Amino acid sequence: MASNGKLTGKQRLGWTALTIVVMGYALFPVAAILATSFKTQADLGNASFLPSSLTWENYEMILFGDAQGLFLTAFRNSIGITLIATFIAVVLATLCAYAIARLNFPGKKIILGTALAVSIFPVISVVTPLFNLWRNIGLYDTWLGLIIPYLSLTLPISIWTLAAFFRQIPWDLEQAAQVDGATQWQAFRRAIVPLAMPGVFTTAIIAFFIAWNDFVYGISLTSTEAARPVPAALAFFTGSSQFEEPTGAISAAAIIVTIPVVVLVLLFQRQIVSGLTQGAVKG
């Protein structure tokens, strides 16, 4: 590094080249799927990157055509289940993380340890017993049947991220609020939560991604359109004959399910500002 913090021409060139390589490596699959989604059925095997002629027929098929029922219900399931799971996870994790960061109670370490243990437990080993249990108690193929396992994925990471975030908020603020006449709840809501908002949004987005991307639970714990999420539904797409792979339609669906994620990030980008706590205490 140059001592004044600015890059020399050579360094700048190096960094630019490296960035392009990394970006290309990361984004090429997305670009390939995007290109594929615009190819006709006949065009799929042409071994070229770009479609020879642009077509919307794949999008038409999943949105208005034969696959409409399959895709749109799955899309609705995915959004509903993921949003509910995220919401519950964030609310529970906020309260839990606040308690962990602020209070000294017996079993605090156990809660954190358990959360960590749950999050590293392989999903695939849980899914078979869960499948049996869910069938017996009637949760199989329901929204709730997916929301509960999604919570087990999203809660631990939410608790850990939020607890770290709460620890950074100066405790003085809360005590000042209490001396100013606030109840514990008021102090939490009016002094701590506004400061924790960036952390809560970040956590919400992480939780949303985890639930949105799940495949194993989605395909194992559902059997019909009643609760099947998009990643699982894609596996059930069929071509116009049994000899045709519906690659085009799957690509189109993959592009569509990416859109909510991108929109989410763009929407909350502004909320995820760091340094909001600056000026709370001495600078």
Partner 1 sequence: MSSITLQNLVKKYDDGFPAVNDISIDIEDGEFIILVGPSGCGKSTLLRMIVGLEDITEGDLLIGGERVNEKAPRERNLAMVFQSYALYPHLTVYENIAFPMRLTKGKFTKEEIDEKVRHAATMLELTEHLERKPANLSGGQRQRVAMGRAIVREADAFLFDEPLSNLDAKLRGQMRAEIARLQRELNTTSVYVTHDQTEAMTLGDRVAVLKKGLLQQIASPRELYEQPANLFVAGFIGSPSMNFLPGTVEGNIFSTPLGKIEIPDRAAKAGAGRDIVLAGIRPEFFDDASQLSEAQLSKGTTFTAEISHSEWMGNEQYAYVSYETDERVQETLRNLAEEMDADELRTQLVVEVDATSRFRSGDTAELWLDTRRMHLFDPGTGENLTRDEEAGAELTREAREDRKRDAERFVAKQS
Where on the chain is the footprint of partner 1 (CB under 8 A)?
A: 170, 172-173, 175-183, 186, 190-191, 194-195, 276-283
Q: Given the complex with partner 1, which of 177 and 232 has the nearer CB atom?
A: 177
Q: Given the complex with partner 1, which of 29 and 170 has the nearer CB atom?
A: 170
Q: Given the complex with partner 1, which of 142 and 277 has the nearer CB atom?
A: 277
**Least CB distance from residue 164 to partner 1, whole Å?**
19
Angle between helices 193-213 and 68-102 (to 10 degrees): 140
**Least CB distance from residue 183 to partner 1, whole Å?**
7
Helices (H), the chain: 9-37, 57-63, 68-102, 108-120, 123-137, 143-168, 171-179, 184-187, 193-213, 216-220, 230-234, 247-268
Q: Given the complex with partner 1, which of 122 and 283 has the nearer CB atom?
A: 283
Q: Please give the Cα distance from 221 to 79 (Å, whole number).
A: 17
Q: Please give the Cα distance from 156 to 119 (Å, whole number).
A: 6
**Least CB distance from residue 207 to partner 1, whole Å?**
24
Number of Cβ within a 10 Å radius of residue 131: 15
**Least CB distance from residue 31 to partner 1, whole Å?**
41
Q: Please give the Cα distance from 20 to 17 (Å, whole number).
A: 5
Contact (Cβ atoms closer than 8 angstroms) between residue 12 and residue 1: no
Q: Given the complex with partner 1, which of 262 and 281 has the nearer CB atom?
A: 281
**Least CB distance from residue 271 to partner 1, whole Å?**
13
Q: Given the complex with partner 1, which of 16 and 183 has the nearer CB atom?
A: 183
Number of Cβ within a 10 Å radius of residue 101: 19
**Least CB distance from residue 191 to partner 1, whole Å?**
6
Q: Please give the Cα distance from 231 to 213 (Å, whole number).
A: 7
Residues 6+ apart with CB under 8 A from 191: 173, 174, 176, 177, 182
